[in-house]
Amino acid sequence: MAKRRFDLKALPGFTTIAVICFVALYLPIIILVAYAFNAATSTSEWGGFSLKWFASAWNNDQVIDATIRSFQIAVLAATFATIAATMAALATTRTKAYRGLTFKYAFINQPLMVPEIVTAVALLIFFSRIKVWTGYAGLGYLIGAHTAFCIPFAYLPIRARLESMDLTLERAAADLYATPFKAFRRVTLPLLWPGILAGFMLAFVISLDDVVITNFVKLGGQDTLPTYMLGQIRRGITPEINAISTAFLLLSILIVTLFFFASRKRD
């Protein structure tokens, strides 16, 4: 008699638990988005449909400056993190197993395991000494901090892509006397591109919405959009914050959608 295949969905209460989880996850987001279109000043009452809070955020110079700064930092940090992660992934996958390789995996992924507040304090102390020695007080500290904690996020999808790739084409290129660099440029890189794109997108989103590390490292006048929103929330939640959060949500959905179609086309 053939064994019955185990099906999680057939367990008692599965549907109920799934519905509860989805409601807990998405109901607060739905409420936030709904109140972004609230005409009333208070977030505790509904005053009708309106787009005025989106217009208010669009005309707020502080919001625009913080948004531009956030994108500048996120693009540069994600770029540097993806380059470093790609080199690390190649170094740890395109080699024979040796003693200490597991330690290198753990070392690269260490920022994922250490509490973010610990990383923030460590970066604050490190960069404060550099400020004293050099006198530099620009965005380089934020870019460096974001790059440091984004590397493992970019590394994971790139390494996963490398480990799933068939080595046949790379070996064929080597058999045809291609140099290691030419084999990488013509064979490995095109096959690796979806993983690199995934790593960049993940690092970009992580950098874009970071609050804790940014709050510790930033100087006066260097607010990013998340830290600006945090400062405004301390004064009280307004529908303008809801509007900014909704725009952030739409941006995240757009990035994920673009990545999905780009990676599917590439595959």
128-168 per-position pLDDT tens digit? 888 888 888 888 899 999 998 899 999 988 888 888 877 77
**CB contact at 8 A, 250 and 47:** no
Position 1 scores a pLDDT of 47
Position 179 scores a pLDDT of 76
- Three-class SS state of 260: helix
pLDDT higher than threshold 70 for residue 253: yes
Where residue 96 falls among pLDDT bands split at 50, 70, 90?
confident
195-244 per-position pLDDT tens digit? 888 889 889 988 988 889 999 998 878 888 888 888 887 777 778 888 88
Position 221 scores a pLDDT of 81
Range 43-60 average pLDDT? 81
Question: Can you say whether residue 135 is alpha, beta or left, with left for phi > 0 and alpha for psi between -120 and 50 degrees?
Answer: left
pLDDT higher than threshold 90 for residue 100: no
Q: Which residues contact 188 (CB under 8 A, 6 or more apart)?
A: 90, 165, 170
Highest mean pLDDT among 6-10, 125-129, 181-185: 125-129
Alpha-helical segments (H) within 37-183: 52-58, 61-93, 101-108, 110-113, 116-134, 140-164, 168-175, 180-183
pLDDT higher than threshold 70 for residue 42: yes
pLDDT higher than threshold 90 for residue 59: no
161-208 per-position pLDDT tens digit? 888 877 777 778 777 777 777 877 787 778 888 888 888 988 998 898
CATH class assigned to 57-266: mainly alpha
Question: Tokens 């959009």 label which residue?
Answer: 225
**CB contact at 8 A, 65 and 228:** no
